[in-house]
Amino acid sequence: MQTQQTTKTLNGLNTEQMGETIEAIKGNPQIGKFVFRAKNEWLNGGENRSTIKDFYGALKEDDSREEPFVFTNGEPPVLLGNNEGANPVEFLLHGLAGCVTTTFILHASARGVQIHELSTELDGDIDLNGLLGLDDSVTPGYREIRIKMHVKADCSDEELEDLIATAKRRSPVCNTVLRPVPVNIVRAEA
Amino acid sequence: MQTQQTTKTLNGLNTEQMGETIEAIKGNPQIGKFVFRAKNEWLNGGENRSTIKDFYGALKEDDSREEPFVFTNGEPPVLLGNNEGANPVEFLLHGLAGCVTTTFILHASARGVQIHELSTELDGDIDLNGLLGLDDSVTPGYREIRIKMHVKADCSDEELEDLIATAKRRSPVCNTVLRPVPVNIVRAEA
């Protein structure tokens, strides 16, 4: 008689691998240390392009990606561009939406909560007076970002509220936005 | 005799339109107020997708984009995914790289400085102990982000250093990372 082997998944996540990963990091916290990277090249005006491929994590350089991901930043005509791509502040919203969502799904799955639907709508305010340096009392970045989250899940309202609060607190992108994070720019030698 | 009309550009930016925009915002600061947006839908596990199209700015809803931009967040196998896309913290680096670059080009062009080359390499540290809630002393977001910037420009070393400092201070994404920015998540009614 053969033993039947099934992969346990919840919300599309392999919960066995998730449990093993958590135990491994508990045993050796160094396993949880990751370094993510991007390379970007200016093309013209408000157009520039990033390539993203390798990263370090789980004690080694990752080699799972054969081809890099390539993304183009652009600007709309009102911001002196030709819509060559979404613009950088819009890409920030995309990263934020995805990170809050994935963090929500991760913690829900760890608690055994099944999610049926999850979608978000984000908006945030940017005042060009800050970017252009026309008014020093105006911040150049987002003043505030609002996320409307729609969720259908097999859990109580109370648990849902707690999962939303956990996603906000634990999401790496959301936490990076919420906290002051140092950015160090240095000139590369030619 | 006809008047010859030429579009003045520097670094791919229409400097006449740029000057007019700055004067218009000086005359009415409300023109500089923008609201950017994204919609995101969870697909499965660590995979979700954003659509980005409309925004508000220069006193009206923008209608320059006929089709939305669509971007997919994913995760690599070591983070329980199948590389369905770059992951959200990598998209943040892409937005940051693009924003610092475009802000640099904008201010250089306003000063009449011609840029020949501009490229950046970014990396930043994420510790999964924060995301997973295994160690409350560990921050879930980026601990620090480093940008190596390579520039070839028609200006002095001193001016170049000043442009890098200006790009860091005035870039909306960089400023959002550097400062604490409120993120408000509310549940949408079903």
| Exposed/middle/buried for residue A131 (C-beta within 10 Å: 0-12, 13-18, 19+) | buried
pLDDT at B189: 73
CA distance A1 to chain B (A): 31
* Phi, psi for A8 (deg, rounded to 5): -85, 120
The answer to whether the Cβ–Cβ distance between A36 and B146 falls below 8 Å is no
Question: What is the value of pTM for the model shown?
Answer: 0.96
The answer to whether residue A48 neighbours chain B at the CB level (below 8 Å) is yes
Partner A contacted by B173 (CB < 8 A):
yes
B54 pLDDT more than 90: yes
Q: Nearest CA to CA, how far is A28 from chain B (Å)?
A: 10
ipTM given for this complex? 0.96
Q: Give the burial class of A134: count Cβ atoms within 10 A of its Cβ; 0-12 exposed, 13-18 middle, 19 or more buried.
A: middle
Per-residue pLDDT tens over the stretch A54-78: 999 999 999 999 999 999 999 999 9
The full length of chain B comes to 190
- On whether any CB of chain B is under 8 Å from the CB of A132, the answer is yes
- Of residues A12 and A189, the one with the higher pLDDT is A12
**Segments of chain B assigned E as strands:** 9-10, 13-14, 33-44, 47-52, 56-57, 60-61, 69-73, 115-127, 145-153, 183-187
Which of B23, B31, B39, B40 to mutate: most A Cβ within 10 Å? B40
Largest CA distance in chain A: 77
CA pair distance B181, A144, nearest whole angstrom: 6
pLDDT, mean over chain A: 96
Q: Tell me the pLDDT tens digit for each residue of A98-154.
A: 999 999 999 999 999 999 999 999 999 999 999 999 999 999 999 999 999 999 999
Distance CA B8, CA B17 (A): 9
Of B62, B127, B164, the CB nearest to A76: B62
User: Taking CB atoms and an 8 Å limit, are B149 and A47 in contact across chains?
Assistant: no
Residue that wins the pLDDT comparison between A90 and A190: A90
d(Cα A32, Cα B78) in Å, to the nearest integer? Answer: 11
Provide Rg for chain B, Cα atoms: 20
Residues in chain A with CB shorter than 8 Å from the CB of B155 are none
| A190/B contact by beta carbon, under 8 A | yes
> A159: buried, middle or exposed (CB in 10 Å: 19+, 13-18, 0-12)?
middle
Average pLDDT in the A176-184 region? Answer: 98
- Contacts A37 to B, Cβ<8 Å: 90, 93, 121-123
Total Cβ atoms within 10 A of residue A179:
16
Of B121, B177, B158, B171, which is closest to residue A186 (Cα–Cα)?
B121
B53 touches chain A (CB under 8 A): no
3-class secondary-structure state, position A157: helix
Report the DSSP pairing between strands A145-153 and B183-187. parallel
Cβ <8 Å between A122 and B39: yes
Q: Rounded distance, CA A28 to CA A58, Å?
A: 10
Q: Do B178 and A181 touch (CB under 8 A)?
A: yes
Cβ of A170 within 8 Å of Cβ of B133? The answer is: yes
Confidence of residue B4 (pLDDT cuts 50, 70, 90): low
- pLDDT > 70? residue B190: no
Q: Give, as one character, the DSSP assignment of residue A168.
A: H
Q: Is B103 on the interface with A (CB under 8 A)?
A: yes
Residue A190 clears pLDDT 80, i.e. is over it? no
* Chain mean pLDDT for chain B: 96
Looking at this protein, which amino acid is placed at residue A88?
P
Mutate to test the interface with B, among A10, A14, A15, A80 (most CBs of B within 10 A): A80
Terminal C-alpha separation, chain A: 67
SS (H, E, C) B107-159: HHHHCCCCEEEEEEEEEEEEEHHHHCCCCCCCCCCCCCEEEEEEEEECCCHHH
Q: Is the CB of residue A8 less than 8 Å away from at least one CB of chain B?
A: no
How many other CB atoms sit within 10 Å of the CB of residue B8?
11
DSSP string, A92-106: HHHHHHHHHHHHHHH
Chain B residues lying within 8 Å of A144, measured CB to CB: 181-184
Interchain CB distance below 8 Å, A125 and B47: no
Does position A1 have pLDDT exceeding 70, yes or no? no
B8 interfaces chain A, CB cutoff of 8 Å: no
Q: Does B158 touch chain A (CB under 8 A)?
A: no
Give, as one character, the DSSP assignment of residue B85.
S
Write out pLDDT tens, residues A147-167.
999 999 999 999 999 999 999
Average pLDDT over residues B31-53: 98
Q: Nearest Cβ partner of A187 from B36, B98, B149?
A: B149
